[in-house]
Amino acid sequence: MLSEQTRTIIKATVPVLEKQGTQITKCFYGHMLTEHEELLNIFNRTNQKIGAQPTALATTVLAAAKHIDNLGALLPHVEQIGHKHRALQILPEHYPIVGKYLLLAIKEVLGDAATPDIINAWGEAYQEIADIFITVEAKMYKEAAWQSWKTFTVADKQKVSADIYEFTVKPTTESGLDLSKLKIIPGQYITVNTHPIRQDNQYDALRHYSICSADTKDGLKFAVKLETAENNPNGLVSEFLHMDVKVGDVLKLSAPAGDFAQDQKLVKQNEVPLVLLSAGVGVTPIVSMLEYQINQNPNRPIVWIQTSTNESTLAFKDQVPKLLQKAKDAKSHIVYTDSQPRIDDKFLKEYIPHHSDVYICGSLGFMQAMIDHFAVLEHDNDLIHYEPFGPKMSTVKV
């Protein structure tokens, strides 16, 4: 339990964190990853470069400072981040390293304003917060479908759009896994551990990919969009998976993770419609939710909204209509952004029932835009669920 004096000091730093939080976290990552190169085998360098990860960490630190009197209020955020940590195999021994460089970054950015009292208070607060994460993640490790990394053979590789491949993988004999006993929650993702020999890469590269289907009878399915951006590692893993990995090759995966899941209380009822809204490859977890909803209760009203650049990049365009045909009351809206206006609050107001259960997935930019549009519509926040393809905390307002 933190002392009242410590909590008072932490709360006094809130204005500084609001102004300089991202500067602190950029400094933190810069020093930590320079002096601990082994952590480059874990951290996504794309999210570092575009600023998403520093922004996410800054938001987390700010949230902790604002809720220092009741850290339990952070539990939903801790659990969401914890799923990522467990999937990446972040362990308790990593936390002291993070704490050391976070305090160093606070000292460096604040300069003379970083008094010994402030540094000591944040040292105590960090340990309290780290203990919460470690406890939550220990439970996740215990409940995971398997521990550490397991090997899977690529059984199939199919193009589902011009720039997206769907991979079907099956556990190797050495993995000791039985897919028939694996329960997938629609919305979950798996994490692939690769070591691409591309772009002068020296490190392991880990990426999260959403699972396409809860049905594992043919194998575990996930989809990968080809990212191509010059002079950064954005496409490192997707290029490797698209261009180098073939049927019969072996990949390392960690167990399914994530808290993006349908409200089970609403799946079997028909009064609250289900809205599934996606952009680009963000359709991957959404299509698994559609499949699940129809299998569990095809009578529930469904609104399907999918946006893509054009028809060639529209993923699962053959599969989705077949699923929607099985639903008793389903409406579908496809938006091509190269020839139509982008989705805005007027579009959402016209096509989405006010009291509906909404699930959204897409890029960080798409997600932030949708969150802002729903705020204009004053849609019930408890009925809006989302999963951005990037650090979720970078989209959170605290």
Catalytically active residues are 95, 137
381 DSSP β-pair partners: none
* Residues 317/166, Cβ–Cβ less than 8 Å: no
Q: What is the DSSP string of 249-262?
A: -EEEEEEEE-----
Buried residues in 328-339 as b, exposed as e (16+ CB within 10 A): eebeeeebeeee
- The span from the CA of 48 to the CA of 57, in Å, is 11
Tell me which DSSP letter residue 211 carries: B
Burial of 277 (0-12, 13-18, 19+ CB in 10 A): buried
- The span from the CA of 388 to the CA of 96, in Å, is 28
Question: E strands, the chain, where?
Answer: 150-161, 164-171, 189-194, 205-210, 220-225, 250-257, 274-279, 302-308, 330-336, 357-362, 384-388
257 DSSP β-pair partners: 189
Tell me which DSSP letter residue 342 carries: P
Please report the sign of the dihedral spanned by the C-alpha atoms of residue 350, residue 355, residue 357, residue 363: positive
Tell me which DSSP letter residue 353 carries: -
- The span from the CA of 366 to the CA of 372, in Å, is 10
* Residues 28/102, Cβ–Cβ less than 8 Å: yes
Token representation of residue 367:
């997600």
Alpha helix (H) residue ranges in 13-44: 14-35
- The span from the CA of 210 to the CA of 282, in Å, is 8
* Residues 391/56, Cβ–Cβ less than 8 Å: yes
Alpha helix (H) residue ranges in 50-196: 52-66, 75-88, 95-110, 116-143
